Amino acid sequence: MSKTSTGVKGLMVFLWCVSVAALLILPANPGQLAKSLSSCTSLRKVDAKSFALCLYDAVAKGPSLLNHLYYKLYPPFPFGSQPEVLMPPPEDWVPSLSAKWFAPFFSGGGYSSEALSFVNYLSKKVTLGVMQHGDSVNEQYLRGMGIQAHKMLSDATRKRLDPKATVEICHSEPGAWSVPTPMYPTSECPTPQGLYSVGRTMFETDRLPEGWAERLNRMDEIWVPARFHVTTFLAGGVDPSKIHIVPEAVDTELFDPEDMDPLEIYDGDHRYKFLSVFKWEERKGWDVLLRAYFSEFSEKDDVLLTIRTYAYHSESNFREQIDAFGRKEFPDKAESGSLPAIHLLTKDMDVDQMPRLYKANDAFVLPSRGEGWGRPHIEAMAMGLPAIATNWSGNTEFMNDWDSYPIPIEGLVPVREGAFKGHLWADPSVPALREIMRHCFQHPSQAREVGRAGMRHVRENYNPDMVGEVVMKHLYRIEGKIRDSVHFAKNRPNEL
């Protein structure tokens, strides 16, 4: 065989390999890939590593054929950021099933805002009913709810649906579900007459609470917001075929930095401002935050940490606890008055004030030990703030090295007290947090570029329409599943 023919054959083999590789990474949605790549361009000004990581996430983690094949072979452990390939409904599809969403709509908190976002979109797409579920009504939250949202929920509450043609979504912690009975008084979900039951829930530690797996497996399927929960739910004994990822949306109309005036709380203060938003509990890592902030900065630094917090099964003497922490952990600084400044916000704020609070600050920071999703994180990112948060649990679904500042962890440590004592959660690295906060303080322009990359990422991928379309695809899948099962039951051969 001549050298020329050998060379041609070698070239053909090479081209074949390139063609197969191109086919395997070919994006299912070229438009989405183009948007993701465009989000990376500004990061060239920051550093080469962030730019490279952004490109990798855009190409290697996209909804490609290879990801699709991997998911089919090894569900539900995909390595892509879109693990489940969902078929979009036809343009002329008219849902034949209704949906009834049970959630703590009038209670406030994470489940409440998340559920409201879902039903606000679905109310325009399907016949929808809602029911207060899983928690008591919070009169103060109800008074602050917008007129439009209140009217939509009131109308949907009065809607009467045929349960035999209704998908029931139980959006709460599983103790509220009627499988077979709830563990405390609440509205019944799922109902005995319901056609199909979906559980929407999440958890923040490395494992499920006792009894959860049995309750989860009694539902027809389970929707979790992040891949983190797929891992913990599977390890806890949940049927793999039941688990589906449905992310949480951020209200990109409310949390929009354009034409948004900052909240006037600083009165011309030009210090670099870190903001942290959390309920006061050990899981949120307030001690980690104070230890890093008090260690890294002093009163000589032109810096301010604003903490927006509220009591959660805890005392509300936050200032006393902060001062006591400073005296115990940093006695010299406390005695000399050289601890850096903290601005504490504890009064109730209307929902429309939160975007203005984010706008008034330079960076968001929350070194929590575990998150179901991370609502303040994604709100801050939608407002363009660089987000500094623990690189573990639910918030890793939308936080990357190139669009935020993930805090490395030292490992997992036991929960020390409470109902989940013995579970494990993250131990965020204080030295790493100190370094990140110092970097943002000293290089604010670079931090702003990272914040802008995060803003584009979450606004493009987690806006209500994008997440609502994911829910609609699942409802379309469920409708097909029910239709196929009914067809099979009607046409099954007589058993011998």
Q: Are 198 and 221 in contact (CB under 8 A)?
A: yes
User: In whole angstroms, what is the distance from residue 343 CA to residue 274 CA?
Assistant: 10
- Indicate if 272-461 has the same CATH topology as 98-249+464-476: yes
CATH placement of domain 98-249+464-476: 3.40.50.11930
Average pLDDT over residues 111-125: 95
Characterise 325 by phi-psi region: left (phi > 0), alpha (psi -120 to 50), beta (else). alpha
For residue 362, pLDDT over 60 is answered with: yes
User: Could you tell me the pTM of the whole model?
Assistant: 0.84
Contact 226, 202 (CB under 8 A): yes
User: Hey, how many other C-beta atoms are within 10 angstroms of the C-beta on 185?
Assistant: 7
The more confidently predicted of residues 341 and 81 is 341
pLDDT tens string 455-477:
999 999 999 999 999 999 999 99
pLDDT band for 14, please (50, 70, 90 cuts): low
Distance in angstroms (rounded) separating the CA atoms of residues 386 and 43: 13
Crossing angle, helix 110-122 and helix 464-491, to 10 degrees? 70
Instruction: Find the radius of gyration of the CA atoms of the chain.
Output: 25
Bridge partners for 345 per DSSP: 308
Q: Is the pLDDT of residue 71 over 90?
A: no
Q: What is the DSSP string of 129-149?
A: EEEE-SS---HHHHHHS-HHH
For residue 223, the cross-strand partners are: 200, 244
The CATH number corresponding to 272-461 among 3.40.50.300, 3.40.50.2000, 3.40.50.740, 3.90.1170.50 equals: 3.40.50.2000
DSSP 356-391: HHHHT-SEEEE--S--SS-HHHHHHHHTTPPEEEES
What is the band of 65 on the pLDDT scale with cuts at 50, 70, 90?
A: very low
Share of the chain above pLDDT 70, in %: 81
Give per-residue pLDDT as tens, 226-273: 999 999 999 999 999 999 999 999 999 999 999 899 999 998 889 999
CB 121 within 8 A of CB 152: no
Domain coordinates in residue numbering, the chain: 98-249+464-476, 272-461
For residue 319, what are its two tokens? 């200032």
In this predicted structure, which of 155-159, 415-419, 485-489 has the lowest mean pLDDT? 485-489
Closest listed residue to residue 459, CA positions, set 388, 378, 345, 341: 378
Is residue 178 over pLDDT 50?
A: yes
**Residues facing 279 on adjacent strands:** 310
